[in-house]
């Protein structure tokens, strides 16, 4: 019985040990019976720069052997055969590569397995060419610089359009507004609503809003608990203009109700927040940071676009923000709030936890000091 179970779960096995087991294939990929157009059984996009894929394949197989592609979308392509499979590896619009698998009996499971196998081998061989890529980047004088003005301005316009649409949807003619959007009969989009673009805009906005929310948290805390002797105009204005990380760390120095001398900057929650602050500064000020640069490399009359490597948990390029990054930012904000509350005396902590959960806060002004009514 155990042998049957083990056999049942052993669904994957190595097909290729080396890429050079693939055979160059000349001619057209055979179509399946009754098929007018080629149908791929599986397509995988390697997470490797097309330049590295090209270099690896050229080293192993020489010049690319397929020229039947659309030159507006593809620069190079190799076609291989392996057992009952045909494999096509090609670049796509300069920014990605595809491994397309064709099988005469439409075996999608084995096609996926083969594609993943080829991808694994490509990744391993690409590592050996990293130094060549770094050398090309170092020598490259031809760059693509993303225009942060366009990114931020178009995001603002999209949000404004979305706000107008939301307002119209909230009125009595909501169904008519939706019909206009879906039909494309609207200035919101000439071709109908593009949810992908709009969601990316909202990711960027949500990320910045989470960081702004913590600034509100700090400002509220300072408004309620700033020490009386520091509430003179000159001192309070000076404190309000302090860098946010300094203002956070020195909150126990400036404010009443803390049991610690400073907020612990060695705590991982503080360090994670500091990373967000640094990202926010680059995002908000639209700094021309390194990750906005891409490098153009020419090899054998082919053009390759090389992205700057991104190793941080949250990308330094605002255009690359995804849902998971926004969720991570939220997690970091929640954790830094928790760290501040932990640093407070029990009475102040209980009071402030209630205050920060309220949409509207009732306070009593006692000689310029606002006392919350909890």
Q: What is the pLDDT of residue 197?
A: 60
CA 30 to chain CA centroid, Å, is 39
160, 70: one domain: no
45, 84: one domain: yes
Joined tokens for residue 194: 């593009």
H-helix or E-strand spanning residue 91: strand 85-92
Q: What is the pLDDT of residue 98?
A: 95
Mean pLDDT per block of 10 residues along the chain (374 residues) reads 43 75 89 76 92 94 86 91 92 91 87 94 92 86 73 78 69 61 56 57 84 88 89 85 92 94 94 89 71 79 79 77 86 94 94 85 76 76
Placement of tokens 């590569």 in the chain: 97
**Is 232 part of a structural domain of the chain?**
yes
The domain total for the chain is 2
Determine the Cα–Cα distance for residues 256 and 225; give it in Å rounded to an integer: 5
Placement of tokens 């606002």 in the chain: 370
170, 316: one domain: yes
262, 296: one domain: yes
28, 105: one domain: yes
Distance set, CA 199 to CA 34, 57, 104 (Å): 41, 37, 40
Q: Does the pTM of the predicted model rise above 0.85?
A: no
61, 121: one domain: yes
DSSP annotation of 147 reads -
158, 132: one domain: no
Q: What is the pLDDT of residue 116?
A: 95
CA 240 to chain CA centroid, Å, is 32
Q: What is the pLDDT of residue 5?
A: 42
178, 197: one domain: yes
**Is 57 part of a structural domain of the chain?**
yes
The whole domain housing 117 covers 2-139
Q: Nearest-CA neighbor of 355 among 371, 334, 331?
A: 371
Q: Are strands 77-82 and 23-24 parallel, antiparallel or unpaired?
A: antiparallel
H-helix or E-strand spanning residue 299: strand 293-299
Determine the Cα–Cα distance for residues 95 and 303; give it in Å rounded to an integer: 10
Determine the Cα–Cα distance for residues 117 and 58; give it in Å rounded to an integer: 19
Q: Nearest-CA neighbor of 107 among 31, 45, 40?
A: 40
Placement of tokens 């929310």 in the chain: 213
Q: Name residues whose C-beta falls within 8 Å of residue 173's C-beta, 6 or more positions apart in sequence.
A: none
297, 156: one domain: yes
128, 91: one domain: yes
Determine the Cα–Cα distance for residues 228 and 155; give it in Å rounded to an integer: 42
Placement of tokens 């949409």 in the chain: 359
**Is 79 part of a structural domain of the chain?**
yes
158, 209: one domain: yes
H-helix or E-strand spanning residue 365: strand 363-366
């Amino acid at each position: 019985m155990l042998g049957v179970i083990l056999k049942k779960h052993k669904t994957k096995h190595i097909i290729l040990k080396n890429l050079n087991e693939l055979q160059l294939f000349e001619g057209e990929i055979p179509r399946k019976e009754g098929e007018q157009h080629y149908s791929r059984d599986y397509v995988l996009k390697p997470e490797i720069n097309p330049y590295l894929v090209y270099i690896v394949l050229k080293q192993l197989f020489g010049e690319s052997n397929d020229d039947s592609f659309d030159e507006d979308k593809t620069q190079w392509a190799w076609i291989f055969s392996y057992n009952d499979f045909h494999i096509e590896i090609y670049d796509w619009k300069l920014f990605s590569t595809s491994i397309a698998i064709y099988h005469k009996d439409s075996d999608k499971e084995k096609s996926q397995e083969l594609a993943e196998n080829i991808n694994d081998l490509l990744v391993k061989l690409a590592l050996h060419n990293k130094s060549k890529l770094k050398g090309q980047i170092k020598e490259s004088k031809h760059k693509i610089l993303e225009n942060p003005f366009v990114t931020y301005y178009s995001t603002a316009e999209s949000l404004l359009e979305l706000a107008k649409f939301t307002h119209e949807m909230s009125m009595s003619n909501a169904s008519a507004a939706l019909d206009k959007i879906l039909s494309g009969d609207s200035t919101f989009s000439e071709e109908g609503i593009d949810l992908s673009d709009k969601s990316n805009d909202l990711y960027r906005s949500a990320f910045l809003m989470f960081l702004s929310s913590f600034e509100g948290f700090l400002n509220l805390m300072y408004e309620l608990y700033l020490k009386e002797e520091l509430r003179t105009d000159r001192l309070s204005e000076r404190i309000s203009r302090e860098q946010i990380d300094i203002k956070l760390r020195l909150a126990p120095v400036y404010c009443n109700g803390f049991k610690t001398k400073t907020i612990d900057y060695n705590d991982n929650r503080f360090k994670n927040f500091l990373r967000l602050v640094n990202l926010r500064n680059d995002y908000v000020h639209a700094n021309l940071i390194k990750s906005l640069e891409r490098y153009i490399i020419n090899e054998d009359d082919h053009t390759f676009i090389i992205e700057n490597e991104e190793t941080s948990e949250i990308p330094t390029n605002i255009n690359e923000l995804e849902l998971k990054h926004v969720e991570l930012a939220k997690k970091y904000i929640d954790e830094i709030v928790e760290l501040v509350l932990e640093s407070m005396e029990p009475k102040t902590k209980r009071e402030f936890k209630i205050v920060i959960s309220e949409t509207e806060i009732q306070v009593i002004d006692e000689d310029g000091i606002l006392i919350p009514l909890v």
